[in-house]
Amino acid sequence: MKKKIGVLLPLIAIIHIILAQGQQGFISLDCGLPSTEASPYEESYTKLLFSSDQTFIRSGGNGRIAKNPEGFAKPYTTLRYFPEGKRNCYSLKVEKGRMYMIVARFVYGNYDGFDLKPKFDLYLGPNLWTTIDLQRLGTDSTSEEILHMPTSDSLQICLVKTGETTPFISALEIRALGNDSYITKSGSMRRLSRTYFSKSGSNIRYMKDVYDREWVSYGEYFQKEWSNISTALEVNNSNKYLPPKDVLINAATVTDASAPFTIVLPSGGSGEEYYLYAHFAEIQDLQANDTREFNISLNGEVLSDPIIPKKLDITTVSSVGTCQGRECLLQLTRTSRSTLPPLINALEIFTSIRLPQSKTDENDVAAIKNIEGNYSLSRTNWQGDPCVPRQFLWDGLNCSTTDMSIPPRITSLNLSSSGITGNIAAAVQNLPQLGKLDLSNNSLTGEVPEFLGNINSLMFINLSRNNLSGSIPQALQRKGLELLVEGNPMLCLSNACRKRPKKNILVPIVASVASVAVIFAVLVLFLVLRKKKSATVQGTPTENDTFANKKSRRFTYSEVVEMTNNFQRVIGKGGSCMVYQGTVNGAEVAVKLLSQTSTQGYKQFKAEVDLLLRVHHTNLVSLVGYCYEGDHLALIYENLPNGDLKQHLSGKGGRSIINWSIRLRIALETALGLEYLHIGCTPPMVHRDVKTANILLDENFKAKLADFGISRSFGGCEAQEFTEVAGTHGYIDPEYYRTNRLAEKSDVYSYGVVLLEMITNKPVISEEYHIAEWVGTKLNQCDITEIMDPNLCGGYDYNSAWRALELAVACTDTSSSKRPVMSQVINELKECIACENSRMSNNQGLESQEINISLDTSLVPGAR
């Protein structure tokens, strides 16, 4: 007997190893599993290995259902509940950029004896996933599934208390999927239904489904007009979706061969975007003269070419549709040449979920968690995303959260009176946008680190009432930085504490250095005077002039006051500046005056001056000059009286709505300006903020690209550079946003959005859609009039409009490798203009309005 047990134990171990290997990319958490019970353990039905959730969350209590425990599998009989705190979060390690199926399961089972079904919110990172409301559902249990691609290597799932009842969770199941299977245009997908067409049968999960998707038999919903068919033969399921073979051996068809097969889809809410994945396989033996062919449509809109299911082999049709508030009906309709009715084996339906709030910058998150670990902090609300949503902002933090599409950054850290000890954590230097640091009233020791002075954004540091020693680093004595250090008795505040060299060495060194210094000073004075004289004669700055010394186009502040008539007329404003009308030598100019309190604005101001002083193109706004005098900073541009393109598309401010031919010319001129930045500059430039508000128009509606404050230069057309994402929400390249890799194709995406605006006159972002998504849904209707700006009243050549639209769609492709370069954009726009010119030439009296496309093309430089 002992010998048999000895053989059996290694065998069980081997089976466990094989199971574990098959579950790579799986996380299966039994929430609330007591520490007294074995973990991990094998669930009897699915053979999945479930583990306790204790190491993935820091809060909550353990519970066990009291009602019908025998009706549920073991992982769903225990639960974790959260009586304390507003938000409680699980933190899980995942693979960035990989598609995951996330399933959260909830079984109340009257675990608390109150028999009061809870209601609470479920968050995925900083965004609302769904609301769990068992009272409304009228059930004791529910589950939620979402397909989601994380943008970092951590995944946070949070339960948020919204009323009097207590949030709880029974199980969390994370499954890595094939990356080429479920693809969305944007956002994530919430499962509405996943069924297979059989009158009877149990739910199908792992191991029959390699991804552990749960397939439910149509069962009681099977219609009397349908017939159930099945086969004992094996059906090939080898495609990127891999539905289980046990699903595909079943199918439903209509009894009346001439009738359509109609399926009522589950409601996901009015106007939702639906993702459908229908799986077909022919499982009947057909006669020689039999044919099964049918169309598939959603609310009358055909989704694909006619389908002929393959014999014992899978065919999957995926499509995106919108119900637009009506009842959603999926119909399979027999074609005229078909002798057999339609069939369907399985169907998956999802609805899109918008997750608009970006997670906090992952480097800032890593830094703050490092600080948390370094000081062994255990603050109850330091769970989930540190910065967003704002109502769950971590205690002691403040963050920049002005644009939902841009990851927030930590700008303030207050750990005053937190009982922390040891040295000042080195991870503080990994918060590059930190403006305020308060570590007062603690027991910190060691020296004040030099790296604090290297955080350029830091304007306030409070280190008072600690046990710090040594001296204050020179870097912390810079202008504009407020440093508080009182109450550190061992900290030396004067130069007396610096080590002095021995006197007998110091005297000869000082004498030698003094002699050299005198000679050096005379030489420098001579060179400076000669350089000054040379500069006066030549009247131009040298190549190595610093920003502050570019005097050839530099104005004093008093001159700026005079040219704007004491800032009398405001013609525009931004987040950190005001724009005034002015006059220089009788010519009108626009004067952009920077706010004196804007640190970020200063960096952009400097970048713009440095760029505009070295680039010149007829389709880039010209810099007349600038002012840099103390805290007074101003940019003086050429005046462009017709404002910006955005005003003319909307007709705001009394601006005219421009016609199609002028829009094409503006599109071409903007493209010419961008091409110059991309290949005509040395080094090449990426604008990073291409949008209609930054395309200015002169008196003849000639386009000039403006606002270069966040432009970047780096090497080469195909080069990419890691950089913090910047730009305007809606125009930012999703690939750049996802990877932080900046390249010229990022401008191409933004330009494509601008082109879509010019074509449709639709807002870039609305509550329901992004402009590219809206155009994508309309393209299926193949009607250009539904897409074109109605203000154009049909005044355009249809070929020209189609070509421009196809170009805009190509520019906004989510994959940068599929986007054209600007030279290709220019060539295509010339073709669009040629079509439009042909139309106007054929209309009497319109010849004079033809667009001259040869005016500016000679100014496009080759790559240098």
**Chain center to CA of 87:** 23
User: What sections of 619-743 are H helices per DSSP?
Assistant: 645-650, 660-675, 734-739
* Chain segment 271-295, per-residue pLDDT in tens: 568 899 999 999 999 999 999 999 9
Q: How far apart are the C-alpha atoms of 462 and 440, rounded to whole Å? A: 6
Identify the pLDDT of residue 863.
27
Identify the pLDDT of residue 41.
96
* Chain segment 624-643, per-residue pLDDT in tens: 888 888 778 888 988 888 88
**pLDDT above 90 for 174:** yes
Identify the pLDDT of residue 767.
73
* Residue in the block written with tokens 């103390």: 630
Q: Are 643 and 702 spatial neighbours (Cβ–Cβ below 8 Å)?
A: no
Q: Which of 549-563, 597-611, 682-696, 753-767 has the lowest mean pLDDT?
A: 597-611
**pLDDT above 70 for 706:** yes
DSSP assignment string, 45-68 = TT--EEEESGGG-S--EEEE--S-
Identify the pLDDT of residue 21.
46
Active site amino acids: 689
Domain boundaries, the chain: 22-179, 191-353, 362-493, 500-539, 549-638, 645-859
Q: How far apart are the C-alpha atoms of 598 and 626, rounded to whole Å? A: 17
CA geometry: angle 47, 53, 56, nearest 5 deg = 130
DSSP assignment string, 791-851 = GGTT-S-HHHHHHHHHHHHHHT-SSGGGSPPHHHHHHHHHHHHHHHHHHHHTSTT-GGG--
Nearest to 475 by CA among 447, 506, 446, 452: 452
Gyration radius (Cα) of the chain, Å = 34
**pLDDT above 50 for 15:** no
Selected residue with higher pLDDT from 387 and 814: 387
* Chain segment 367-384, per-residue pLDDT in tens: 999 999 999 998 889 999
Identify the pLDDT of residue 835.
87
**pLDDT above 50 for 850:** no
Identify the pLDDT of residue 402.
78
Identify the pLDDT of residue 715.
60
Q: Which two tokens stand for residue 446?
A: 């060691």
Mean pLDDT on 223-230: 95
Domain 22-179 and domain 191-353 have a common topology: yes
Average pLDDT, the chain: 85
* 217 CB-side CA count, 13 A: 13
- State which of 41-50, 487-496, 764-773, 790-799 shows the largest mean pLDDT: 41-50
- Topology adopted by domain 191-353: Jelly Rolls (2.60.120)
Q: Which of 384-393, 514-523, 660-669, 693-702 has the lowest mean pLDDT?
A: 514-523
* Chain segment 292-312, per-residue pLDDT in tens: 999 999 888 898 999 999 999
Q: Which of 19-28, 485-494, 673-682 has the lowest mean pLDDT?
A: 19-28
SS (H, E, C) 538-602: HCCCCCCCCHHHCHHHEECHHHHHHHCCCCCCEEEECCCEEEEEEEECCEEEEEEEECCCCHHHH
Q: What does the buried/exposed string (b/e) look like for 770-803 if buried means 16 or more CB atoms within 10 Å of the residue's CB?
A: bbbbbbeebeeeeebeebbbeebeeebbebbbbb
Is the backbone peptide bond immediately before 389 cis, with ω within 30 degrees of 0? yes
First-to-last alpha carbon distance for the chain, in angstroms, is: 84
**pLDDT above 60 for 170:** yes
**pLDDT above 50 for 857:** no
* 355 CB-side CA count, 13 A: 26
Selected residue with higher pLDDT from 617 and 721: 617
**pLDDT above 60 for 355:** yes
Mean pLDDT on 679-688: 86
Burial class (CB in 10 A: 0-12, 13-18, 19+), 699: exposed
Task: Name the pairing type of β-strands 273-280 and 346-353.
Answer: antiparallel
Question: In degrees rounded to 5, what are phi and psi of residue 548?
Answer: -70, -15
Q: Which of 15-19, 284-288, 342-346 has the lowest mean pLDDT?
A: 15-19
* Chain segment 507-561, per-residue pLDDT in tens: 343 444 444 454 555 454 545 444 443 333 333 333 334 454 454 578 999 999 9
Q: Which of 151-160, 172-181, 183-192, 389-398 has the lowest mean pLDDT?
A: 183-192
Nearest to 748 by CA among 674, 806, 661: 674
Residue 596: band (very low, low, confident or very high) from pLDDT cuts 50, 70, 90: low
Spelled out in words, what is the top-level CATH class assigned to the domain 362-493? alpha beta
- Topology adopted by domain 549-638: Phosphorylase Kinase; domain 1 (3.30.200)
Q: How far apart are the C-alpha atoms of 636 and 610, rounded to whole Å? A: 14
Identify the pLDDT of residue 654.
64
Q: How far apart are the C-alpha atoms of 854 and 857, rounded to whole Å? A: 6
**pLDDT above 70 for 350:** yes
Residue 186: band (very low, low, confident or very high) from pLDDT cuts 50, 70, 90: low
Mean pLDDT on 228-250: 96
Q: Are 293 and 334 spatial neighbours (Cβ–Cβ below 8 Å)?
A: yes
- Topology adopted by domain 22-179: Jelly Rolls (2.60.120)
Architecture of domain 645-859: Orthogonal Bundle (1.10)
Mean pLDDT on 497-502: 45
Nearest to 85 by CA among 6, 160, 196: 160
Q: 122 - beta bridge partners?
A: 130, 159
Q: Which two tokens stand for residue 437?
A: 């640091």
